[in-house]
Amino acid sequence: MKQPSPPERNARDMIERPSGGPDVGTAAMDEARLLQQAIGVRLRQMFDEVVNEPVPTAFLDILRRADESAEQG
């Protein structure tokens, strides 16, 4: 089965489940660390999604009007 590309994978998919070895504590720590990595990836993705959106024209209109007002004042 083809693996999805990293940006489209969900965080839980990024966690490799332990195979049931004897060191349960280490496996749990590894899983927690991987979960934290997945959280980090998702956080940046969440933020970047908005950063990469087109800027609504209202922002530039407001700034343009303020600039014109400053020039006239």
Partner 1 sequence: MVDRSPRDPALDADFKAEIVTLIPHLRAFARSLCGDATSADDLAQEAMMKAWDARASFQMGTNMKAWTFMILRNQFYSEKRRSWRQTQLDQEAAERTLVAVDDPEAPLALDELRLSLGMLPPEQREALILVGAGGFAYEEAAEICGVAVGTVKSRVSRARRALQAVLEAGAYDRDGAAAGDAMGSILAEAERLSTVS
CB of residue 2 to partner 1, shortest distance in Å: 17
CB of residue 3 to partner 1, shortest distance in Å: 14
Binding residues for partner 1, per CB under 8 A? 10-13, 32, 35-36, 38-40, 42-53, 55-56, 58-60, 62-63, 66-67, 70-71, 73
CB of residue 27 to partner 1, shortest distance in Å: 14
DSSP string covering the chain, please?
-PPPPGGGS-TGGGSPPP---S-HHHHHHHHHHHHHHHHHHHHHHHHHHHHTSPPPHHHHHHHHHHHHHHHH-
